[in-house]
Structure 1
């Protein structure tokens, strides 16, 4: 196995949400396949929940865990992070440096290119996971980020996309002269396809995710209030997650009079969270291929979501479980139906066997390792 073993380093900014989940699964499977794997990420984000997740994968991190301050926005501190990370990574002698998200992708490719000046054969990979692709190509911010993405292509050996939506968005916004790329869907563990039943006192609706505008917590709160008017009685909900904007949503609940019926909880394991609500709601303004949707469906939980990013690739185009983004009225109507006619909502969910075949963590890890080897060759 040693002759086929790769030294793989994953680089990303924040150890929170889908990117961290994606990396953890790759690390576990690649370690078991005989590869040596490590992580480079930000040291200022994450909390007790993320610390516990790091503890769970430490036995697989042969190349260690390197954490240093990495800011979300571009600034002078990036130069400090670049120099410090380059010195650390050079000692690890990776064959693969895989950047995830816009900031992680930039650092990984620039550091990998600096190592190649020293005659390292490291291959540089990038997975956007949405990231800068959420910007409009017509906005000044979008033009700036897409210019940077375009410039970084010359330092990229492979692009790995987690959804066809993401791949098309990249080609449309960044440019069609892209490096070799592959579509490799996010995947789940076999154990995650076991059904989860809601608790006896489960709320009507459940929001799980980061507390930031992109994920639509404000839309969720407004939709709960509107669904109450449609149904004609009080409804309950649980919101689970952390983020800098969490206090603003707490205040929004106070102002809307929902505070007693909508409770806020810190981040927790998804399968534990799924017991707290009857219908999962994903009100995002933008997504790539969210793990939450896969996790909820694999656990047999009914789910309503906005038709953004790669979500239609999971449900199929035109699914009745999907509503237009930022449309509170449409989402509230679907939520009211979930309360009044739950069996009709359940019938809209994809078949679990099809999900298990298409969105498998082992398949994801195998396809990624194959892509690494192809580009190294």
Structure 2
């Protein structure tokens, strides 16, 4: 297929929140700018007012539109109805490339693409795990079930795009070496995201940004803050930004530990708006693939403490003193270290020049388009 030929690209994923949604939005803008026709299909039951505003902003720019239909998070009988409805929507969009993101989006895209081939359409079936089912432990019944599905889906896959070397290794360990061709493509930031963000004069000590669910570690953040207070015998304050099912539980945890209004809980908002609210940021995730929030924070010149999980060490460096285990006591030790000499701790962060070279949105989009075209050429 000639490189100048424009493509019809449809991105399929479940929940329009967090890193996957950010990744898809960046890809859509880059692909649209390259002249391709781009569209999205995702769940209509998740996401709050902030995500709705992002969709409303994005939709007019996409020639194939944003199609939303109910998609269950967990597998169940309702999946059959949801999948049938979603398949009808995708088929009408007539994609050359059907790119599935996350566990549910990956299954839908590859099954739909295979069914479309039986009826004459021949889309390339692309899969980006973004962690997804890989977060499950291999020895659990749930893990074995999902990994068996991944092995079956491999036969329906034209190309797999991994967002970190960690994700690729984990896939091989838990699922097996994939039959489909694979490419490592780091998440990328736009040029304006490398502009520094200034800290407010009344900023809090620490900041958490993310979904309010245990996987992202907001409970660890609150416990670590309490441990740091007790160790230093000094009152601390923090801001926690995000939405999710566990929000009320984390608010209760903060009250129980005596923080009262010294931990402010704010709804989801653009990360760069939140960065100025505290002097230092903590990413206490229990599991990740390649989190955008770490890249965004470092590019904006923020001081960061982050769990050494997933692809995070590939960003900060394997031996970075800013890395910690996803454990309240370990995080508290890093908080104490950072507070002891904030200027020295800030100097431990990687430089923006290296970050630009490795994690640029232009590099990400170009590498992904190359994978698309290779899959289409092979298919032909």
TM-score category (smaller protein): over 0.9
Equivalents in 2 of 1:278, 1:353: separation in Å? 22
Q: CA deviation at 1:4?
A: 1.0
Q: CA deviation at 1:259?
A: 2.1
Equivalents in 1 of 2:91, 2:223: separation in Å? 50
Q: Which consecutive segments of 4 or more residues in structure 1 shift more than 4 A?
A: none
Equivalents in 1 of 2:294, 2:304: separation in Å? 8
Q: 1:363 to 1:177 in 2, by over 3 A?
A: closer
Write out per-residue CA displacement over residues 159-188 of structure 1, whole angstroms, 9 at most, x where no aligned residue. Answer: 001101001101111111431010000000
User: Paired residue for 1:351?
Assistant: 351
Mapped contact 1:239–1:263 kept (Cα < 8 A): yes
Equivalents in 1 of 2:264, 2:50: separation in Å? 19
User: Paired residue for 2:366?
Assistant: 366
Mapped contact 2:113–2:122 kept (Cα < 8 A): no
Higher mean Cα deviation, 336-345 or 187-196? 336-345
* Superposed counterparts of 1:284-363, under 5 Å: 284-325=285-326, 327-363=327-363
User: Paired residue for 1:120?
Assistant: 121
Equivalents in 2 of 1:330, 1:202: separation in Å? 24
Q: CA deviation at 1:3?
A: 5.6
Equivalents in 1 of 2:202, 2:75: separation in Å? 45
Equivalents in 2 of 1:52, 1:291: separation in Å? 19
Equivalents in 2 of 1:212, 1:178: separation in Å? 34
Mapped contact 2:287–2:309 kept (Cα < 8 A): yes
Equivalents in 2 of 1:299, 1:360: separation in Å? 14
Higher mean Cα deviation, 275-284 or 224-233? 224-233
Higher mean Cα deviation, 301-310 or 338-347? 338-347
Equivalents in 1 of 2:93, 2:102: separation in Å? 22
Equivalents in 2 of 1:198, 1:78: separation in Å? 46
Equivalents in 2 of 1:141, 1:343: separation in Å? 45
TM-score by length of 1: 0.98
Write out per-residue CA displacement over residues 314-367 of structure 1, whole angstroms, 9 at most, x where no aligned residue. Answer: 011121000112x21121011112222101211110111000110000110111
The secondary structure found in structure 1 opposite 2:260 is coil
* Superposed counterparts of 1:1-377, under 5 Å: 4-325=5-326, 327-377=327-377
Mapped contact 2:239–2:277 kept (Cα < 8 A): yes
Which consecutive unaligned segments of at least 5 residues does structure 1 have?
A: none
Mapped contact 1:230–1:333 kept (Cα < 8 A): no
Equivalents in 2 of 1:71, 1:98: separation in Å? 19
Mapped contact 1:97–1:124 kept (Cα < 8 A): yes
Equivalents in 2 of 1:2, 1:348: separation in Å? 42
Equivalents in 2 of 1:331, 1:88: separation in Å? 46
Equivalents in 2 of 1:88, 1:263: separation in Å? 42
Q: 1:210 to 1:87 in 2, by over 3 A?
A: same
The secondary structure found in structure 2 opposite 1:287 is coil
Cα RMSD of the aligned pairs, angstroms, is: 1.1
Mapped contact 1:18–1:290 kept (Cα < 8 A): yes
Write out per-residue CA displacement over residues 124-176 of structure 1, whole angstroms, 9 at most, x where no aligned residue. Answer: 01111011000111111100000000011111101001101001101111111
The secondary structure found in structure 1 opposite 2:282 is strand
Q: CA deviation at 1:2?
A: 10
Q: CA deviation at 1:6?
A: 0.5
TM-score by length of 2: 0.97
